[in-house]
Amino acid sequence: MTTSDDFATYIAGLPRVLSAAATLFRDAEGRVLLVEPNYRAGWGLPGGTIESDDGETPRLGARRETLEEIGLDRAPGRLLAVDWVPVPGHIPMVAYLYDGGTLTDADLKAIRLQEEELLSWRLVPRTDLPDHLPPPLGRRVLAALDALEDGNGPAELENGHRAL
């Protein structure tokens, strides 16, 4: 067996993780843009799985998913949070959350939902986010909003909780 075969065998034996990326958009009032998927209950952010087989990076994945899901082609801003999320019965997920900036009224009017995956969108104030989002995602979004406010970050999270 050659060294490259040994390395390939080593890599094949390593644990796997799922990677996802999303973008956090706000309006002028600071409300967060949420999307309602048709394939599960509850709300989420524009984003999804990173297509690493194609060499896609988290940042590129967030941009692609934003374009596909809400029709806005925006380069993500700074990384706000990285979250290690255990998924019982499945491989864990690493979730990247980027700043999408503030959307103007024209941006909001330009939103076009991906009908195959999304039912609707809405703007939600910070105080109401926990009522709309699953707990780990809700904590991730709040940590990202904190990182925006205090200028620190990205937040290092484990299942939505600060790691440090």
Residue 11: pLDDT band (50, 70, 90) is: confident
The rounded distance, in Å, linking the Cα atoms of 132 and 114 is: 20
On the question of pLDDT at 1 being above 70, the answer is: no
Note whether 158 and 135 are within 8 A (CB).
no
Beta strands in 4-141 (DSSP E): 18-26, 32-37, 47-49, 79-85, 93-102, 118-124
Determine the distance from the C-alpha atom of residue 126 to the mean position of all C-alpha atoms in its chain, rounded to a whole number. 17
For residue 31, count CB atoms less than 10 angstroms from its CB and return exposed for 0-12, middle for 13-18, buried for 19 or more: middle
Q: Which residues of 102-117 are buried (b: 16+ CB within 10 A; e: fewer)?
A: ebeeebbeebebbeee
Closest C-alpha among 78, 123, 120 to residue 104: 123
- What's phi and psi for 20, nearest 5 deg? -135, 155
Domain boundaries along the sequence of the chain: 23-162
pLDDT at 54: 80
Closest C-alpha among 9, 147, 15, 14 to residue 81: 147
Q: Of residues 13 and 22, which shows the higher confidence score?
A: 22
Kindly state the tokens that stand for 141. Answer: 């979004």
Residue 2: pLDDT band (50, 70, 90) is: low
For residue 83, count CB atoms less than 10 angstroms from its CB and return exposed for 0-12, middle for 13-18, buried for 19 or more: buried
pTM: 0.91
Q: State the CATH architecture for 23-162.
A: Alpha-Beta Complex (3.90)
Q: What percent of the chain has pLDDT over 90?
A: 79
Average pLDDT of the chain, as a whole number = 93
- Segment 29-59, tens digit of pLDDT: 999 999 999 998 899 999 999 997 788 999 9
- Segment 97-143, tens digit of pLDDT: 999 999 999 999 999 999 999 999 999 999 999 999 999 999 999 99
Residue 145: pLDDT band (50, 70, 90) is: very high
